[in-house]
Structure 1
Amino acid sequence: MLTYPNIDPVAFSLGPLDVHWYGLMYLAAFGSAYFLATWRARQADNDWTPQQVSDLIFYGAMGVILGGRCGYVLFYNFPQFLEDPLWLLRVWEGGMSFHGGLLGVLVAIAIFCRIHNRSFFQVSDFGAPFVPLGLMFGRIGNFIGGELWGRMADPESVPWAMVFPRAGDIARHPSQLYQAALEGFLLFVILWFYSSRPRPQKAVSAMFLIGYGVFRTFAEFFREPDAHIGFDLFGWMSRGQMLSIPMIVFGIILLIWAYRGGEKKA
Structure 2
Amino acid sequence: MNIVDFSKEEFQNQQIEASHLEEILKDFRRDGYVIFKDIFSKDYINELNADFIDKYGHLFSEEYKKNVFRVGHRRIQVSVELKKSFNTPYLYANPFILPVLEGIFNTEFIISDLTCVTSLPGAKYMPLHRDGAIFKGVALAPLLPAYAVGLLIPLIPFTKLNGPTRYWPGSHRSPLHSGAFEGNPNFIEPEIETGSCILMDYRIVHCGNPNQSDEKRPLLYCNYSLPWYFDSSNFRFDPHLIVDDNNYSDIPEEYKSLFQRRNMKLQ
Q: Scaled by the length of structure 2, what TM-score is found?
A: 0.26
Q: Scaled by the length of structure 1, what TM-score is found?
A: 0.26
Higher relative contact order (CA 8 A, sep 6+): 2
Larger relative helix fraction: 1
Larger relative strand fraction: 2
